Amino acid sequence: MAFLLVIPSIDIKDGKLVRVVQGIPELNVPEYINDPVEMAEIWRAENAKMIHVVDFNGFSEHSDRNHTVVGDICDSVIIPVQYAGGIRSLEEAKRVFDYGVSRICVSTITFENIPEFQRILEQFGPSKVVVSIDVLDNRVMIRAKKQKTESTPLEHATKLRAMGVERFLITDVSRNGMLGGPDLELSKQFCANLKCKVTVSGGVRNKDELMDIQNYLPLGIDSVIVGRALYENRFPCQRLWRVAESGLFT
């Protein structure tokens, strides 16, 4: 029996943990621990099976200032670390993998430099390269969710699926960090039309919504990234991850 994979997000800016609301990082949130490495160790102790790291300096400044922190996170836990941080070239992808990450998420490059994205995909394969689709008003957002394109999510993803992409990370920017519940319609459309795997991000606020998402496992929605709801103890997650530890996840 398969279970939904719940992935806690660690969002980093200037080497510190931040809270993200509609794509905007907030520093010095009282209820958050500042140290991303300590937070990773806590999530591992809570039995998380994977961690999603978002590097806001990488997105907004095309900077590698947080790469050492990312490497420390990878060294501190024995679970896979997924990285999103504005990767724009094969060389940058190689450097991030050298820090120990297990999977990378890319976005802007799939619009601005398709040949280079193809090189990354061919070098590391579809199991290591995820395409992030950030959505606002049914249009794909790029450049750290600040620039709206003319492409609809399904149009863009259809082209990438033909290139060999197997997994998409879909984030509804308007719901990101708002605790308003996830919008699963687009994710269901992706799975039905593209026969792909989908990781959902944005809006999850309680365990009942996780159970609802789990109903779509047969379609291909097999994982969900959760941030604020976990940090603010909106629901207990230990039991879910304890099931994961038993080896039941696929």
Give the CA angle between residues 164, 168, 174 to the nearest 5°.
150
Q: Which two tokens stand for residue 222?
A: 């097999």
CB 77 within 8 A of CB 47: no
SS (H, E, C) 116-175: HHHHHHHHHCCCCEEEEEEEECCEEEECCCCEECCCCHHHHHHHHHHHCCCEEEEEEHHH
In the residue annotation, 172 being an active-site residue is answered as no
Spatial separation of the C-alpha atoms in residues 207 and 234, rounded to whole Å: 8
In the residue annotation, 134 being an active-site residue is answered as yes
Per annotation, catalytic residue among 11, 55, 172, 222:
11
CB 10 within 8 A of CB 52: yes
CB 5 within 8 A of CB 244: yes
Per annotation, catalytic residue among 55, 134, 172, 222:
134
Q: What is the DSSP letter of 4?
A: P
Phi-psi region of 220 (alpha: psi -120 to 50; beta: other; left: phi over 0): left
Active centre residues (catalytic): 11, 134
